[in-house]
Chains A and B, each alone.
Chain A
Amino acid sequence: MLLLAIVAIATLAANSARQLRYMAVAFFGVALAAHLIDDGSLSASQIVVSMCSALVASAILFVAARDRRYGEDPGWRLWLATIVAAATTAAAFAFLRPATGDDINANLLGPDPSGVTTEVAAFWLLSSGIAILLTARGAVRGSLGALLMLTGTQLLVRMVPGPELALTLLLSWLQVVVALAGAFLIVNQRAAREA
């Protein structure tokens, strides 16, 4: 539960940041906390791969900013994204949660084998990402929205039985490519605006 709270607060920090560099650091915090949520199926190799890709993605955005001040003011979009994300998370959890009779272990620090914490974090990240992406004016917030959504997707894919390491690797590569494409767009949009 503590990690879930960190995910939520770090998402809000990333969403409210006006500077891309703060956004990148906050995103790394989100990814770090999200990938450490233990649902009993975590392996060290998966955590290492996911962390590395999150670090690389954050670093790419950090470098793409080029200076400390560059970013995008969220304005009213921050509140809209937060309200939409909170409402959608509750709705998604109520509608899509597995109909099992497992007890929910909601202790503060220990693992949660029922997977509820992982699911809530995933739904929160997906709905926050959608809200940010849909209201984004440019590539700065667009990239953040896409990366948050992808982190949520990674959490859901982690719960799928099957080739776990292969899927983790694929999604990690995808995260790096999303960050690269986002950074490319950030640089190009900035060049177009400053011309």
Chain B
Amino acid sequence: MIEVIGLLGIAALVAFTVRKRLALVGTVTLAALAAAMAVVVVMPAEASGEVLELTWRMSELGRLAAVVLLGTLALLVLAVWVDEPAYNFFPTALVIAAVVLSVLVLTTPIAIYAALLLGLLVPVGSFTFQVHRNRSAEAAFRHFSFVALGGCLGMSALALSASLGRDQPPATFVLLVVILVVAFALKLAAIPFHTHAALLASEVPASALALYFGVLVPTTFIAFAEILVLSGLLPAIVEIGKVQDLLLSLGLTSALGGAFLATGSTELRRVAVYSVIANLGQSLVGIATLSGPGIIGGMAIALVTGLAATQQLLAAGTLERRAGADRPSATTAPLAALAFVVGGFAMIGAPPLVAFPGHFFVELIAYSYSGLLGTALVIATLGVLLAQLRAAMAIFRTAPDRWRIEQRPIAGIVGGLVFLALLVGGVQPDGFLRPIAAFAAEFLRALHPL
């Protein structure tokens, strides 16, 4: 596995060197991603190893998430190559692929955290473009500040908890867990720590936004769950209910706040980004219930939301570009418009897509936790549904005399592929949910170590 991560790193260097030769850099990037995916797929279950005393292990969840996230990256690379050439995107995508694999296979919490921070800082280069005409430099700076602040705080909390003896006063561990949770909330753009995401949504290129919300945010969420399991802090969370309440309230605020902000948004990108924030809120609630179905649902929502975000943000970028100074409309890019609308189905967790079981599990377990919590999550889902419907109606407000498919309909093709994958997953949910269930079992064992 370390060889694959090294291969992706070397490919990133090569891609950086030849980044202005589009055909070459696109081929190198896609080939490296395909090779990495192939190795992940054929690797034996629970393969493990060690490098510089750092152990790695390919868990079932790691394999599933690697395939989903590397696949998403490959689709993004294809879209950028064909439709929106951005030279720096290719090496960035390869570095992020290496980081994603590292986060998924490493077993030392601080190493996972450091790798994650590397991945979150790399897209700063892809966020900034035409800095004289927009506020993308400011958006990138705000992202940099949030990542640095959250990253250093979280890593320090982890380091302190690992170096302190277990005989410390409970208040010490409560403080450390609270710092860790807030640190991840900063990186996940959970409300009220979402101001950088709002600026990013309106100022940076759609492909870079898709890279962040489609790949890095789900990776951050998985890293959060893994770090909780591996750090040994979970028993402290169970013993002290306040931390669980903090996680629940953070998740609920994000779910409701994200849905509320999405319903008020008129820009397609903002609708997609706030829907992601609302869904991540639901995922946080799922994890915070500290129950099997909640954890499975939370992780499933995070992964599927990443795919749906990629689908919607690429489509939104295409619609905006084709519309020019006018409002985005299906008349200029019907396939991209369709991709945006079907992406909305995944965002709200509609059956028969594989997005459904995650939302169903989390809302069900939220109801069993408290009626108010369950109702709030259903309201949040309805809010996202309303926002997606408004966006769809706005795109299809005008209809041409004759529909004509746009030239280079890559956003539509990517949307179609994602929809197909989600549909196949929905028909055969076992293949998607079983690896997540294996992780949930590990999580529950870590909650009650004896």
Contacts and interface: CB of A to CB of B under 8 A. Distances in A.
Interface string A166-179: 11011101100110
A160 B159 contact: yes
A167 B156 CA distance: 13
B137 A163 contact: no
Given A99-B169, A161-B163, A188 B137 contact: yes
B124 interface: yes
Interface in A93-134: 95-96, 98-100, 122, 126, 129-130, 133-134
Contacts of A129: 152
Nearest to A126: B156
Nearest to A115: B163
Interface stretch (B107-115, B218-226, B376-384): B107-115
Question: From DSSP, what is the main secondary structure of chain B's interface residues?
Answer: helix
Given A152-B156, A192-B132, A139 B141 contact: yes
B121 A181 contact: yes
Interface residues of A, number: 47
Contacts, number: 139
A55 interface: no
Contact of A133 (B149, B168, B171): B149
A150 interface: yes
Contacts of B141: 138-139, 142, 185, 189
A163 B121 contact: no
User: Which residue, B122, B159, B168, has most C-beta atoms of chain A within 10 A?
Assistant: B159
Interface stretch (B49-57, B260-268, B339-347, B398-406): B49-57
A67 B429 CA distance: 59
User: Which residue, B110, B138, B165, B176, has most C-beta atoms of chain A within 10 A?
Assistant: B110
Nearest to A192: B131
B165 A163 contact: no
A163 B169 CA distance: 27
Given A122-B156, A185-B144, A99 B167 contact: yes
A133 B149 CA distance: 8
16 contacts: A98-B163, A98-B164, A99-B169, A134-B149, A149-B153, A157-B159, A160-B162, A162-B108, A163-B111, A167-B111, A169-B52, A173-B114, A174-B117, A178-B148, A185-B144, A195-B132
Closest 3 CB pairs of A and B: A163-B53, A146-B148, A149-B152
